[in-house]
Amino acid sequence: MPGFVIPTTPNTPQPLERVEDISPAWMTSALVSAGFAAHVSDLTFVPIGTGQMADSFRFELVQAPGYSSADVPRSVIVKMQAADELSRQAGAGGAYNAEVRFYMDLAPTLKIRTPDCYYAVGPDVDCRFALVLEDMAPAEQGDQLLGCDVDAARAAVVNLAGLHGPRWCDPALLDTVWHREPAVLDMLAAMVRERTQQFVVHYGEHVSKADVAVLEAFAPLCGDWLKGRSERFAPVHGDYRLDNLLFGNTREVEVTAVDWQTLDIGLPARDLGYFLGNSLLPDERRRSERALVSAYHQALTGHGVTGYSLDECFEDYRFGQFQGLMITVLAAAGLTHTERGDDMFMAMSSRACEAIRDLDSLRLL
């Protein structure tokens, strides 16, 4: 198998402004840099996914005669900066760099399943970047609006333990680009306070009074929450939900995590609370959450985590529920609005608030 990521040089493909600018020569050079014996003679692409801050495309590749090695991918996924200016500005604040560095530096040290990264470059001064990734087809993207069943949720939380367990409380993480200093967390908390009010005003009657009460109770406490329980930390995906997961069609559900632009170093159960609180419909979550938290905890121990009881894990899960509110209000106020996006934000905020009430999570703050 060719190399995972090849560091770029001035002689390797650079980020481009438009997806239409990706030529067979550009793609050939990217794949050759990764160690493939490739010579792309033609290519076509179609947009895929529902990303809010970046755009993704599936490229079908045609190899020139004599370059039909079985190792050369017939299709790849290219992820790059958003064409939409508002979404691009949201990603330019560090999200693009976080994702590129994830694939280049962090992914090889983890056990979570992600696409292989064949090539990574950027972001440049114009906030352009490019990732050439393994095409996981026929795996299918989850649907945040529909939710998932318990089997899919169990596979997702076991996969999530592969993100947290291998680098659990690793002090080297505190020197990485993903670790936010207290001053940055204070700025983020201030943004949450401001955008919570924008969220409530913008969506008006679509947000129930009970949900408004939860949103407004959490907003002034966000800074304390972000800094809370700091004795346990690991890489945190930050947006681990169904739209960012690909599900295989094998007998045992296989899950692949994508979209690493919200990567953080923090309390691991923020991801767990966010996923279960948002990806299961409320009745299913209530029936299954203890068993699913237990499955996650068991997977953590399989990655070598010790001194962390199941009871502690469940309390962290309760505490982590606020990740859903934070991500929702930040994204809804900072991105271009679409019909599906607004429906998704309403579903996410409603499910998160219901989980917070069910679990009495506000009491933990």
Q: How far apart (Å, rounded) are the C-alpha atoms in residues 336 and 52?
A: 8
Nearest to 45 by CA among 16, 17, 15, 20: 20
pLDDT 10s digit of each residue in the chain, 365 long? 444 444 445 568 899 999 999 999 999 999 999 999 899 999 999 998 766 688 999 999 999 987 666 688 999 999 999 888 777 776 666 889 999 999 999 999 999 999 999 999 999 988 899 999 999 989 999 999 999 999 999 999 999 999 999 999 999 999 998 999 999 999 999 999 999 999 999 898 899 999 999 999 999 999 999 999 999 999 999 999 999 999 986 656 789 999 999 999 999 999 999 999 999 999 999 999 999 999 999 999 999 999 999 999 999 999 999 999 999 999 887 666 677 878 888 999 999 999 999 999 999 99
- Show the beta-strand stretches assigned E in 192-236: 234-236
**In whole angstroms, how far apart are CA 126 and each of 18, 52, 92, 118, 233?**
12, 19, 9, 23, 33
Task: Specify the CATH number of the domain 19-134.
Answer: 3.30.200.20
Q: What fold is seen in the domain 140-364?
A: Aminoglycoside 3'-phosphotransferase; Chain: A, domain 2 (3.90.1200)
* Beta carbons of 82 and 54 less than 8 angstroms apart: yes
Structural domain boundaries in the chain: 19-134, 140-364
* Beta carbons of 80 and 100 less than 8 angstroms apart: no
**Angle between the N-to-C axes of helices 310-319 and 282-302, in degrees from 0 to 180, rounded to the nearest 10:** 130
